[in-house]
Structures are given as C-alpha cells and as structure tokens.
C-alpha cells in the first residue's frame, strides 16, 4: 500500500525542508505521491504545472481522505502523455529558504505520517488490548494520549525492576523510549488538524504499547532463568550477573566463529541483542582446563556484554566508560585484554594458564589495570568480589 509510515520519500514529499530538486526527483519516480508534493508549500510553480500535466487527478486527491491510501501507485488519473521529466528546480535564496529548512521538519513528518495512519489503522490501541474503535475517528487525540501515558507509566514501572542490573540499558532500551516521549511532546505542541493529531497519536500509542510489551516479555523470560538449572559454577556466575536477563548455553563449538589459528580453540562468545543476551561456552565434555577455565571463559564473555553497555548508555558520539579506559592506554587498547583482566580480577588469578590450557589473549593485567577494572565494574553495577 502506498504511504507506509516508514516510507522516507513520503516524509520528504510533504516536508517543506526538502530541497526543490529532491521534490522533482520524487515526483518523477512516485506519481502516487503527487498529492503530497502539491500540498507541500515549498513545491515550486513549474513542478506544480508539470504534475498537473502528467497526473491531472492528483490535484483533486485529498491526502487525508481514506480513499487516497486505498489507491494503487499512479492512481488518481491515467498516466497521460506530457513532459518526460519535471523542470529543473529554481535556485532558492534569502531568509525564506533558510527558515524553510529549520524548525519544521518534525512537525511536517508528524502530519504526513498521520495522514497515512488515518486509513492504515482501523482500531486504536489501549492498555489491555485496544479500545475497539471501528475507524479513524473512533477515538480522540486526548484518548490516545491517555493510552500513551498508561503504557509509558507501565514501561517505567517494569524498567525500575532492572535498577542496578549491569545489562539494564541493553534490556530496557531507554534511548528509544526517550525518542517516543520526544515525539509525543512534539505532537502535543503541533497545530495540525484534530483528526491528523489523533491519527498520529494512535501510532505513538502503538509504539508505547509495543515497547511495554517487549519489556514485559523479557522480564517474564528472565524470571524463568533465575534458577541454576545446570547446577554449574558458570551458570551461577551468569545468573548472579544478570538476575536471569542473561542466558548461558553450552554450544560455543557450534555458535561461535572458529579461531583462525589452528592451534587455538574458541572457548566462548556472546549474543548481544535486547531480545537475546547469551553467553556461549564450550560443552562441558569438550572444554579444557576444567571448572576454573570455564569460569574464566564465562567471566571473559560477561565482560564483553558489559562493554556493550557503552553504546547503549552514551550519545552524541561520546566514549563510554570502557572505551575511555582503552583510549587511555590501559589493557593494550584491546577489548579482549580488558575482558581477560575482568576475569582475572574477579577470580584473583595471576595467570591465564589453568592446568593444561592457556586461555585469553596472552597479557596478564597489572595491579593498576585491575583497580581500573574494579572501578569500572562499580560504575556499571557489574559484580566484582571484594
């Protein structure tokens, strides 16, 4: 269907900040968006004339009417003969062009997406399964805001259950929740038509409900993992680290990439997505070095998950706590060496050789680096004895 909410050309077609030549390019490819381009105040006269020649029906298409979104591409009128391409966009100068490029992108995107939503959604979302509306006007803007507030409050209540958990930023994804709240604020401040605002609020309510549902599902899954089902030291380490939000699987031989060095064996790796936080270690019958080697490997992989928090808790290109330590020259600037140091510091070991196996990446960290690891663990709420 034309006009999906994540259609970038749809957004650009209705955005006054879109450069004129880009509008012309879109008009050439997307006759289904001609109505949006005509509604854009930045569309230049000669482009309007060209659209009228090649797609006369587009001027009569109401971009907020349900029928406009039930039509196939190039609908509205037969594609008649006319100029092969729109005229080149004129150069724009002066303050008017500057103002068109700032301060309005968010609002226009809201309005255009909302126009799509009017016909794309037949029911509204409400806490507990939806309001049961039968059309785009089944609920008001304020009704949808109430849904958003309810879902957001429940999301925050659920997220609070992870306070102090080192993987909380990976599980709760606060950045996307903050973007949702910013979009809600922008919509509340907009002056669009009530029907448009209600439709866009319905989309935001769906997002809020999805984020809450995602988090609830992760919490439910974690509750089922909190018992040390295997009775092993490595599972106990994982359970105490993430309170069930990290899983452990003994399948590194099949899930992890093989070492490029034929004399080395990959002992572990991690899966690192909000939906799956998994430490993979070798099956117990295949591991070398016994239980202590398994603990070293498990702690090494947990440290990789903790380092991933850097990306989840920093913005604007800033370095997170782990990256700052590596950039300062600690751990030879290596994430792998830093993970080794976390495991050594946790277990109080001075060597990476355990029995007949040598693990890790060959560097045993110094006392200063171990203290840096302890400080880092405290900062991100990662477990560290002593």
Percent of the chain with pLDDT over 90: 46
More confident residue, 351 or 32: 351
Q: How high is the mean pLDDT of the chain?
A: 79
Last residue of a domain, one of 223, 253, 287: 223
- Flag whether pLDDT at 159 surpasses 90: yes
Alpha carbons 113 and 6: distance in angstroms, whole number: 8
> Could you write out the three-class secondary structure of the chain?
CCCCCCCHHHHHHCCCCCCHHHHHHHHHHCHHHHHHHHHCCCCCHHHHHHHHHHCHHHHHCCCCCHHHHCCCCCCCCCCCCCCCCCCCCCCCCCHHHHHHCCCCHHHHHHHHHHHHHHHHCCCCCCCCCCCCCCCCCCCCHHHHHHHHHHHHHHHHHHHHHHCCCCCHHHHHCHHHHHHHHHHHHHHHHCCCCHHHHHHHHHHHHHHHHHHHHHHHHHHHHHHCCCCCCCCCHHHHHHHHHHCCCCEEECCHHHHCCCCCCCCCCCCEEEEECCCCEEEEECCCCCCCCHHHHHHHHHHHHHHHHHHHHHHHHCCCCCCCHHHHHHHCCHHHHCHHHHHHHHHHHHHCCCCCEECCEECCCCCCCCHHHHHHHHHHHHHHCCCCCC
Residue 281 sits in the same domain as residue 326: yes
Residue 20 lies in a domain: yes
**Measured CA angle at 190 (ends 188, 196), to 5 deg:** 90
Residue 357 forms beta bridges with which residues? 354
Q: Which pLDDT band, with edges at 50, 70 and 90, does 277 fall under?
A: very high
Last residue of a domain, one of 223, 248, 278: 223
Please say whether the beta carbons of 145 and 201 come within 8 A: yes
Alpha carbons 143 and 124: distance in angstroms, whole number: 9
Q: What is the pLDDT of residue 254?
A: 93
Residue 88 sits in the same domain as residue 137: no
Q: How far is CA 49 from the centre of its chain?
A: 41
Residue 308 sits in the same domain as residue 281: yes
Alpha carbons 346 and 236: distance in angstroms, whole number: 14
Residue 108 lies in a domain: no
The 10 Å Cβ neighbour count of residue 127 is: 18
Residue 48 sits in the same domain as residue 144: no
Residue 253 lies in a domain: yes
Q: What is the pLDDT of residue 84?
A: 54
Alpha carbons 259 and 49: distance in angstroms, whole number: 63
List pLDDT tens digits, range 91-128.
443 333 322 333 333 333 333 333 433 333 333 333 34
Residue 187 sits in the same domain as residue 151: yes
- Flag whether pLDDT at 178 surpasses 70: yes
Q: Which pLDDT band, with edges at 50, 70 and 90, does 287 fall under?
A: confident
Residue 267 sits in the same domain as residue 209: no
Residue 160 sits in the same domain as residue 209: yes
72: nearest Cα among 33, 32, 27, 13: 32
Residue 112 lies in a domain: no
Q: What is the pLDDT of residue 290?
A: 87
Residue 265 sits in the same domain as residue 238: yes
Q: How many domains does the chain have?
A: 3
List pLDDT tens digits, range 138-149.
489 999 999 999
Q: What is the pLDDT of residue 109?
A: 39
Alpha carbons 164 and 271: distance in angstroms, whole number: 21
Residue 184 lies in a domain: yes
The residues, ordered by sequence, that sit 6+ positions from 277 with a Cβ below 8 Å of its Cβ are 167, 170, 171, 242, 245, 246, 247, 270, 271, 305
List pLDDT tens digits, range 48-67.
888 888 887 766 554 443 22
Residue 97 lies in a domain: yes
List pLDDT tens digits, range 295-325.
999 999 999 999 988 766 766 667 889 999 9
Residue 304 lies in a domain: yes
Residue 237 sits in the same domain as residue 373: yes
Last residue of a domain, one of 175, 195, 223: 223
Residue 64 sits in the same domain as residue 149: no
Q: What is the pLDDT of residue 72?
A: 29
Residue 58 lies in a domain: yes
The residues, ordered by sequence, that sit 6+ positions from 173 with a Cβ below 8 Å of its Cβ are 211, 214, 274, 312
Parallel, antiparallel or unpaired: strands 277-281 and 247-249: parallel
Instruction: Give the range among 19-23, 138-142, 156-160, 161-165 with minimum mean pLDDT.
Output: 138-142
Residue 375 sits in the same domain as residue 250: yes
Range of the domain at 285: 233-380
Residue 244 sits in the same domain as residue 362: yes
Q: Which two tokens stand for residue 283?
A: 């099956």
């Amino acid at each position: 269907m034309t006009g999906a909410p994540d259609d970038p050309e749809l957004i650009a077609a209705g955005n006054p900040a879109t450069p004129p030549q880009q509008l012309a390019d879109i008009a050439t490819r997307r006759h289904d968006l001609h109505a949006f381009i005509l509604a854009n105040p930045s569309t230049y006269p000669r482009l309007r004339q060209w659209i009228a020649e090649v797609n006369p029906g587009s001027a009569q298409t109401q971009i907020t009417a349900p029928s406009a979104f039930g039509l196939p591409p190039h609908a509205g009128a037969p594609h008649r003969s006319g100029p092969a391409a729109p005229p080149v966009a004129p150069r724009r100068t002066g303050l008017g062009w500057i103002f068109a490029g700032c301060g309005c992108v968010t609002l226009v995107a809201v309005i255009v997406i909302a126009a799509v939503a009017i016909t794309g959604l037949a029911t509204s979302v409400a806490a507990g399964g939806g309001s049961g509306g039968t059309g785009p006007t089944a609920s008001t803007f304020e009704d949808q805001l109430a849904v958003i507030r309810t879902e957001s409050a429940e999301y925050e209540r659920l997220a609070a259950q992870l306070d102090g958990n080192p993987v909380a930023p990976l599980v709760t994804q606060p950045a996307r929740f903050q973007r949702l709240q910013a979009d809600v604020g922008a919509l509340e401040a907009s002056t669009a038509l009530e029907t448009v605002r209600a439709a866009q609020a319905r989309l935001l309510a769906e997002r809020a409900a999805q984020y809450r549902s995602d988090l609830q599902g992760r919490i439910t899954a974690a509750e089922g993992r909190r018992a040390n089902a295997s009775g092993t030291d490595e599972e106990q380490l994982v359970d105490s680290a993430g309170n069930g939000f990290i899983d452990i699987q003994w399948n590194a031989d099949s899930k992890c990439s093989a070492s490029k060095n034929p004399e080395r064996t990959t002992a572990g790796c991690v899966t690192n997505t909000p939906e799956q936080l998994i430490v993979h270690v070798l099956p117990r019958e295949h591991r070398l070095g016994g239980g202590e080697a398994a603990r070293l490997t498990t702690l090494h992989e947990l440290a990789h998950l903790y380092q991933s928090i850097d990306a989840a808790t920093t913005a604007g290109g800033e370095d997170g706590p782990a990256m700052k330590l590596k950039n300062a020259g600690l751990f030879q600037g290596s994430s792998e060496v830093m993970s080794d140091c976390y495991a050594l510091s946790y277990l109080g070991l001075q060597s990476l050789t355990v029995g007949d196996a040598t693990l890790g990446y060959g560097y045993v960290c110094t006392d200063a680096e171990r203290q840096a690891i302890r400080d880092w663990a405290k900062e991100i709420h990662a477990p560290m004895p002593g």
